[in-house]
Amino acid sequence: MRSAWRRSASRANTPISADGIVIVFARAPLAGRVKTRLAPRLGAAGAARLHERLIRHAVRTARTARCGPVELHVTCRHRFFDGLKIEVRLQRGRDLGERMHHALRSALRRHRPAILIGADCPALTAADLRRAARWLKGGADVVLAPAEDGGYALIGARRISPAVFADVTWGGSAVFAQTMANIALAGLKLRLLRTLWDVDRPEDLERLRGRRFSSAPRRGARR
């Protein structure tokens, strides 16, 4: 009880930094476990390599934005993360919504605002992150970047509620719409960034061609 009280008191006395924080959410790049819908095109190992490159790109974008420190929150430890030279934390929660809420709530105890991005949206730019941070510091409670597939690529918060993530069908095409409804019911002020695309389906690989981090196979290339 005494140690728990000390931890609680320590959190209460920790000053909140005026600098924001950017959290990159990523799954470990395990072949056969990530980008499975791309595996028929790239192979399981190729899909995992693409996932690694997308993570590197997301971390680089977050650092370039200069919105504050950058953390990588992962599903499990993996040696790939050791080479990124970034603070790594384990995600906590039973589903994606709980994990995002826990990450944002914890970050907002130390920084304000907090921005969370996924690792599969190469269209997200440092300018998008800076705009989100500016809007949050200007009075918005939540900022979202909608994705073409019905999800979202970024969620930023100045304050957050577990209700934002309640009753959302994660992985479905209604994630953004359900989250929007939750934000309205929670009485939070929302602003929206531009709609973005992410990499999840074989047809998305065409958009990656010509990008230096892409693992998309070239036409006519031997495989």
Find the range with the poorest average confidence among 87-96, 155-164, 208-217.
208-217
pTM attached to this predicted model: 0.87
- State mean pLDDT over 111-133: 97
Quote the tokens at residue 191: 């602003």
Residue 4: pLDDT band (50, 70, 90) is: very low
**pLDDT at residue 30, rounded to an integer:** 95
Q: 176: which residues sit within 8 A by CB, 6+ positions away? A: 144, 146, 147, 150, 151, 152
Looking at per-residue pLDDT, the higher value among 223 and 206 belongs to 206
What is the C-alpha to C-alpha distance for residues 137 and 190, in angstroms, rounded to an integer?
13
Asked whether residue 2 carries a pLDDT value surpassing 60, the answer given is no
Query: What is the per-residue pLDDT across 152-177, written as a single tens digit (0 to 9) for each?
Result: 999 999 999 999 999 999 999 999 99
* Average pLDDT taken over every residue of the chain: 89
Question: Which structural domains are found in the chain, ordered by start?
Answer: 20-200 (3.90.550.10)
